[in-house]
Amino acid sequence: MTVDPLIERLDQLSREGAPLERLLDEAMRGLHETDPHFHWTGVYELFEDNMLRLGPFVGAPTDHVFIGVGNGVCGTAIAEKRNMNVPDVREISNYLACSTETRSELVVLIRSGERIYGQIDIDSHRVAAFDEDAVAKVQRVADWLARAYDAKAASRRTTP
Ligand code: SME
Protein backbone atom coordinates (compact mmCIF):
# COMPACT_ATOMS: atom_id res chain seq x y z
CA MET A 1 0.00 0.00 0.00
CA THR A 2 1.26 3.48 -0.90
CA VAL A 3 2.27 6.09 1.68
CA ASP A 4 0.57 8.94 -0.26
CA PRO A 5 -2.36 9.22 2.20
CA LEU A 6 0.07 9.15 5.13
CA ILE A 7 2.19 11.94 3.65
CA GLU A 8 -0.98 14.01 3.10
CA ARG A 9 -2.02 13.40 6.71
CA LEU A 10 1.40 14.42 7.97
CA ASP A 11 1.31 17.58 5.83
CA GLN A 12 -2.10 18.42 7.29
CA LEU A 13 -0.98 17.81 10.90
CA SER A 14 2.13 19.86 10.31
CA ARG A 15 0.06 22.77 8.91
CA GLU A 16 -2.06 22.56 12.07
CA GLY A 17 1.10 22.95 14.17
CA ALA A 18 1.34 19.41 15.56
CA PRO A 19 4.51 18.86 17.62
CA LEU A 20 7.25 16.60 16.28
CA GLU A 21 6.43 13.80 18.75
CA ARG A 22 2.89 13.64 17.36
CA LEU A 23 4.19 13.58 13.79
CA LEU A 24 6.57 10.73 14.64
CA ASP A 25 3.76 8.77 16.27
CA GLU A 26 1.43 9.29 13.31
CA ALA A 27 4.20 8.38 10.86
CA MET A 28 4.95 5.07 12.63
CA ARG A 29 1.28 4.12 12.89
CA GLY A 30 0.60 5.03 9.28
CA LEU A 31 3.69 3.28 7.93
CA HIS A 32 2.97 0.13 9.95
CA GLU A 33 -0.46 -0.13 8.35
CA THR A 34 0.85 0.00 4.79
CA ASP A 35 2.30 -3.53 4.84
CA PRO A 36 1.08 -6.67 6.66
CA HIS A 37 4.70 -7.87 6.78
CA PHE A 38 5.78 -4.92 8.92
CA HIS A 39 5.52 -6.53 12.35
CA TRP A 40 7.34 -3.88 14.37
CA THR A 41 7.69 -0.29 13.17
CA GLY A 42 9.40 2.34 15.24
CA VAL A 43 11.67 5.33 15.37
CA TYR A 44 14.99 5.67 17.17
CA GLU A 45 16.15 9.24 17.72
CA LEU A 46 19.85 10.03 17.86
CA PHE A 47 20.93 12.11 20.84
CA GLU A 48 24.06 14.16 21.34
CA ASP A 49 25.60 11.54 23.62
CA ASN A 50 25.71 9.27 20.52
CA MET A 51 22.92 7.09 21.85
CA LEU A 52 19.83 6.03 19.98
CA ARG A 53 16.70 6.30 22.08
CA LEU A 54 13.43 4.59 21.23
CA GLY A 55 10.61 6.93 20.23
CA PRO A 56 7.07 6.09 19.08
CA PHE A 57 6.62 2.51 17.85
CA VAL A 58 3.96 -0.01 16.91
CA GLY A 59 4.43 -3.65 17.93
CA ALA A 60 5.68 -5.62 20.90
CA PRO A 61 7.57 -3.72 23.62
CA THR A 62 11.33 -4.07 23.29
CA ASP A 63 14.18 -4.13 25.82
CA HIS A 64 16.28 -2.10 23.40
CA VAL A 65 15.21 1.38 24.45
CA PHE A 66 18.78 2.71 24.26
CA ILE A 67 21.24 1.54 21.62
CA GLY A 68 24.83 2.75 21.41
CA VAL A 69 26.27 3.80 18.07
CA GLY A 70 27.94 0.73 16.53
CA ASN A 71 25.70 -1.76 18.36
CA GLY A 72 23.24 -3.99 16.54
CA VAL A 73 21.74 -3.26 13.17
CA CYS A 74 20.44 0.11 14.39
CA GLY A 75 23.73 1.32 15.84
CA THR A 76 25.68 0.06 12.83
CA ALA A 77 23.49 2.12 10.49
CA ILE A 78 24.51 5.26 12.41
CA ALA A 79 28.19 4.30 12.67
CA GLU A 80 28.38 3.62 8.95
CA LYS A 81 25.96 6.45 8.00
CA ARG A 82 23.89 4.18 5.78
CA ASN A 83 20.59 2.36 5.57
CA MET A 84 20.58 -1.34 6.46
CA ASN A 85 18.40 -3.95 4.75
CA VAL A 86 19.10 -7.28 6.44
CA PRO A 87 17.33 -10.17 4.68
CA ASP A 88 18.01 -12.65 7.49
CA VAL A 89 18.97 -11.39 10.94
CA ARG A 90 20.16 -14.89 11.93
CA GLU A 91 23.25 -14.18 9.85
CA ILE A 92 24.17 -10.99 11.75
CA SER A 93 26.56 -11.55 14.65
CA ASN A 94 25.85 -8.33 16.59
CA TYR A 95 22.09 -8.40 16.03
CA LEU A 96 20.02 -7.21 19.03
CA ALA A 97 16.89 -9.37 19.15
CA CYS A 98 13.63 -7.56 19.73
CA SER A 99 11.55 -10.67 19.05
CA THR A 100 12.65 -14.27 18.44
CA GLU A 101 10.25 -14.28 15.49
CA THR A 102 12.05 -11.51 13.61
CA ARG A 103 13.70 -12.67 10.40
CA SER A 104 14.42 -9.50 8.43
CA GLU A 105 15.05 -5.90 9.42
CA LEU A 106 15.15 -2.56 7.63
CA VAL A 107 16.75 0.59 9.01
CA VAL A 108 16.36 3.83 7.06
CA LEU A 109 18.16 6.92 8.31
CA ILE A 110 16.29 10.14 9.00
CA ARG A 111 18.89 12.50 7.65
CA SER A 112 19.24 15.95 6.17
CA GLY A 113 22.55 16.23 4.35
CA GLU A 114 25.25 15.29 6.84
CA ARG A 115 22.94 15.65 9.82
CA ILE A 116 21.44 12.38 11.09
CA TYR A 117 18.41 12.84 13.34
CA GLY A 118 17.61 9.16 13.82
CA GLN A 119 16.16 6.25 11.95
CA ILE A 120 13.04 4.28 11.13
CA ASP A 121 13.45 0.63 12.14
CA ILE A 122 11.14 -2.09 10.83
CA ASP A 123 11.18 -5.78 11.74
CA SER A 124 9.41 -8.53 9.85
CA HIS A 125 8.75 -12.16 10.68
CA ARG A 126 9.34 -12.93 7.01
CA VAL A 127 12.80 -13.49 5.50
CA ALA A 128 13.74 -10.73 3.01
CA ALA A 129 10.51 -8.79 3.55
CA PHE A 130 11.84 -5.47 2.26
CA ASP A 131 11.89 -5.14 -1.51
CA GLU A 132 12.77 -2.02 -3.49
CA ASP A 133 9.23 -0.61 -3.23
CA ALA A 134 9.13 -1.12 0.55
CA VAL A 135 12.48 0.60 0.97
CA ALA A 136 11.38 3.50 -1.27
CA LYS A 137 8.24 4.16 0.73
CA VAL A 138 10.03 4.02 4.08
CA GLN A 139 12.60 6.41 2.62
CA ARG A 140 9.81 8.85 1.65
CA VAL A 141 8.54 8.91 5.23
CA ALA A 142 12.09 9.24 6.62
CA ASP A 143 12.75 12.18 4.28
CA TRP A 144 9.49 13.82 5.32
CA LEU A 145 10.48 13.45 8.99
CA ALA A 146 13.97 14.85 8.29
CA ARG A 147 12.31 18.05 7.01
CA ALA A 148 10.17 18.17 10.16
CA TYR A 149 13.34 17.91 12.31
CA ASP A 150 14.96 20.64 10.14
CA ALA A 151 11.93 22.88 10.73
CA LYS A 152 12.11 22.29 14.49
CA ALA A 153 15.85 23.04 14.53
CA ALA A 154 15.25 26.24 12.51
CA SER A 155 12.48 27.42 14.85
CA ARG A 156 14.75 26.82 17.87
CA ARG A 157 17.34 29.09 16.28
CA THR A 158 14.84 31.93 15.69
CA THR A 159 12.81 31.64 18.92
CA PRO A 160 14.48 33.50 21.80
N1 SME B 1 17.21 -5.38 16.07
C2 SME B 1 17.73 -4.08 16.37
C3 SME B 1 17.28 -3.63 17.74
C4 SME B 1 15.98 -2.93 17.77
S5 SME B 1 14.66 -3.97 17.86
O6 SME B 1 14.64 -4.74 16.61
C7 SME B 1 13.25 -3.12 17.95
C8 SME B 1 19.25 -4.07 16.25
O9 SME B 1 19.86 -5.10 16.04
O10 SME B 1 19.82 -2.99 16.39
Distance 120 CA to ligand 1 centre (A): 11
Measured from the CA of 40, which atom of ligand 1 is nearest? 7
Nearest to 57 by CA among 74, 72, 44, 75: 44
Q: Is 106 touching ligand 1 by the criterion CB < 6 Å?
A: no
What is the spatial distance between Cα 46 and Cα 152, in angstroms, rounded to a whole number? 15
Pairing of strands 84-86, 51-58: unpaired
Distance 15 CA to ligand 1 centre (A): 33
Best residue for ligand 1 mutational test, from 32, 82, 123, 125 (most atoms within 8 Å of Cβ): 123
Identify the band that residue 51 occupies on the pLDDT scale cut at 50, 70 and 90. Answer: very high
Which one-letter amino acid corresponds to residue 58? V
Describe the crossing of helices 132-158 and 4-15 by its angle, rounded to 10 degrees: 10
pLDDT in tens, 99-145: 899 999 999 999 999 999 999 999 999 999 999 999 999 999 999 99
3-state DSSP helix/strand/coil percent for the chain, to nearest 5? 40, 25, 35
In the structure, how many helices (H) and strands (E) does the chain have?
4, 6
Distance 105 CA to ligand 1 centre (A): 8
pLDDT in tens, 10-27: 999 999 999 999 999 999
Q: Is 73 touching ligand 1 by the criterion CB < 6 Å?
A: yes
Q: Residue 158: its pLDDT value, please? A: 76
Q: Residue 159: its pLDDT value, please? A: 65
Please report, for residues 16, 103, 113, the alpha-carbon distance to residue 58 in angstroms, rounded to integers and kept in the order given: 24, 17, 28
What is the spatial distance between Cα 42 and Cα 57, in angstroms, rounded to a whole number? 4
pTM equals 0.96
